[in-house]
Amino acid sequence: MTAEDDPKMLKTTATSIAVLEYLEETHGARVSEIAESMGLPKSTIHGHLTTLKHKQFVIQEGDFYSLGPELLRLGNKVRTRDSGYVLARKFTEQLFEETGLRSIFAAEMDGKAVFLHTASGNKMGWAHEQLGNRLYLHSTAVGKAILAELPEQRVDQIIEKWGLPAETESTITTREGLSAELEEVRNRGYAVNRGENFRELYAIGDAAARRPGDVIGGFSVTGPAHAIVETGKEEELARQVTDIVREFELELSLV
């Protein structure tokens, strides 16, 4: 989408990936369409698709191409790398069953929160669609919970890398504001996101560590503002979230 002309990038690989990303956006496409959209000759695109098809990164049905199963296989390894990630699945579902709110488990990767598990009532759609998406740490409940357990130095690195961009008018955008918030999270024992990411969407999150200081990710529940801040609701939800984290950490220590 945005023009990428960083130095030191392998153009061929970058183009192949751009093709994959195009197929993702469009839910599959044909050669000519891709070629036109990307401003490249059909023959070039054809070459990329042939290569990607060989590796099952794309599959071909007639003359229609879409993302292939090898991407699913590799992508899934990301969720399997840490045994804790795998274990987190059932706790995410349990959290949803108890609260009735959209529940997620996210891990910190490269300074962002990556959704590894989601559970929600919606039969269709969005829960699955978020997997692999990256959100900022400073504007989400899980993110702030994770940051609160990271050494200051690490927090600085992350801020230097990603900044503190405002996503709504409630987003924390200053280092001092964030420090104060993280201190509050530590005192309170859990993190709250009050529409800092999406307007009117509130969330409660807590981080989980393999052993003290070794954070592997965090859980959170998300809902419309009124569902979270209703009298007494926040404390009850917070207890449910932190209880799940405790149970998770206990079982994790036994693995």
Partner DNA sequence: AGGTCTCGTTCGGCCATAGTGAACTTTATA
Partner DNA sequence: TATAAAGTTCACTATGGCCGAACGAGACCT
Exactly one of 3, 11, 125, 151 binds DNA (CB under 7 A); which one? 11
**Residue 134 partner contact from DNA, its own copies, none using kind-dependent CB cut-offs of 5 to 8 Å:** its own copies
**Site map 79..98 versus its own copies, x via CB under 8 A:** xxx-x--xx-xx--------
Q: Which residues of 185-209 are buried (b: 16+ CB within 10 A; e: fewer)?
A: beeeebbbbebbbeeebbbbbbbbb
| For its own copies, the closer CB: 59 or 229 | 59
Q: Total residues at the site for DNA (CB under 7 A)? A: 22
Q: Quick one: which segment of 8-16, 113-121, 160-168, 245-253 binds DNA (CB under 7 A)?
A: 8-16
Closest CA to 237 of 116, 92, 137, 101: 101
- Please answer whether residues 186 and 206 qualify as being in contact, where contact means their C-beta atoms are separated by less than 8 angstroms: no
Exactly one of 114, 150, 209, 216 binds its own copies (CB under 8 A); which one? 114
Which residues make Cβ contacts (< 8 Å) with residue 235, sequence separation at least 6?
none
Q: Quick one: which segment of 2-10, 182-190, 202-210, 218-226 binds DNA (CB under 7 A)?
A: 2-10
Which residues make Cβ contacts (< 8 Å) with residue 2, sequence separation at least 6?
none
Q: Is there binding between residue 154 and DNA (CB under 7 A)?
A: no
CB of 125 to DNA, least distance (A): 28
Q: Quick one: which segment of 4-12, 108-116, 123-131, 219-227 binds DNA (CB under 7 A)?
A: 4-12
- Please answer whether residues 92 and 206 qualify as being in contact, where contact means their C-beta atoms are separated by less than 8 angstroms: no
Exactly one of 23, 31, 104, 203 binds DNA (CB under 7 A); which one? 31
> Could you tell me where the DSSP H helices lie in 105-214?
126-129, 141-148, 152-162, 175-188
- Give the whole-angstrom CA distance, residue 185 versus residue 147: 10
Q: Quick one: which segment of 128-136, 150-158, 171-179, 233-241 binds its own copies (CB under 8 A)?
A: 128-136
Q: Is there binding between residue 32 and its own copies (CB under 8 A)?
A: no
- Give the whole-angstrom CA distance, residue 225 versus residue 30: 43
Sign of the dihedral through C-alpha 20, 24, 28, 30: negative
- Give the whole-angstrom CA distance, residue 97 versus residue 77: 26
CB of 229 to its own copies, least distance (A): 30
- Please answer whether residues 113 and 167 qualify as being in contact, where contact means their C-beta atoms are separated by less than 8 angstroms: no
Exactly one of 30, 134, 154, 210 binds DNA (CB under 7 A); which one? 30
Q: Which residues bind its own copies (CB under 8 A)?
A: 4, 6, 8-10, 12-14, 16-17, 20-21, 24, 27-28, 47-48, 50-52, 54-57, 59-61, 66-81, 83, 86-87, 89-90, 109-110, 112, 114, 116, 123-125, 128-129, 131-134, 255
